Amino acid sequence: MSTLLVVRHGQAEGNADHRFIGQSPARLTETGKAQAETVARRLSELPITRIVSSDLVRCVETAEPLAHASGVEVEHRPELREIDNGEWTGLLPAEIQGRWPDLWHDYANGVDVARPGGETWRQVANRVVPVAEELLAADGVTVISTHSGPTLILAMWASGIEVEGNIFSGRFGALHNCSVTVLVPGPRLISYNDVGHLATLPDQRLPFSPVIPS
């Protein structure tokens, strides 16, 4: 039996401002580092067999405390990266809306728009889901350290929901930093956005919708 514990990275530079950090080299903030240590303490109690991470630094930094606690080496998989935001990378929602009003209108109204020079959510799903299928085919408990978009895509996939349109306009709420989402073969979604381990930290879960209506 296999189990996937999908962890969204800890708070990273730009998260608090809701910047579109995408595939930028944003690092964890001090809060994010504390979150990573906290989720590591929780998950290290489990019989972890693999830790597989996006190769972007904020996910690697999130996985490292668990690797240290469990003695399991971190494997880097670029397929688990966040969406490539292209020319939107590093911008605030208002800045994107000001420079690309038509694209932003479509994005805010649920369209899976291609970021200028970047990706669509469908393209992200096409690289993320095969990794989950591969890992679910093997026995053991695997921790995936990844991003909000890929985690949401995997939750939709495991729930039998078609990955289409702007995924943040769908049925699931936005994921909190260092939340845990659990998948098992089927695939089936067991839990989503679990942040019980963060209860002892200051509440950093700002009200957030990645879609801000125009």
Topology of the domain covering 2-197: Rossmann fold (3.40.50)
Does an H or E element contain 2, and which?
A: strand 2-8
Question: From CA 115, how far away is CA 120, in angstroms rounded?
Answer: 7
CB 180 within 8 A of CB 196: no
Alpha helices in 113-171 (DSSP H): 121-136, 148-158
Q: For residue range 21-41, list pLDDT tens digits in order.
A: 999 999 999 999 999 999 999
Token pair, residue 189, equals: 């979604």
Phi then psi dihedrals of residue 35, to 5 deg: -65, -40
CB 153 within 8 A of CB 129: yes
Tokens 């690697």 locate to 60
For residues 181-202, average pLDDT: 89
Domain ranges of the chain: 2-197
Reported pTM: 0.93
Question: From CA 160, how far away is CA 144, in angstroms rounded?
Answer: 20
Q: For residue range 118-165, list pLDDT tens digits in order.
A: 999 999 999 999 999 999 999 999 999 999 999 999 999 999 999 999
Query: What pLDDT does residue 208 have?
Result: 43
Of all residues in the chain, the percent with pLDDT exceeding 90 is: 86
Q: What is the dihedral of CA 56, 185, 166, 16, to 10 degrees?
A: -40
What are the residues whose beta carbons fall under 8 Å from the beta carbon of 32, sequence distance 6 or more? Answer: 9, 10, 11, 12, 15, 58, 61, 62, 177, 178
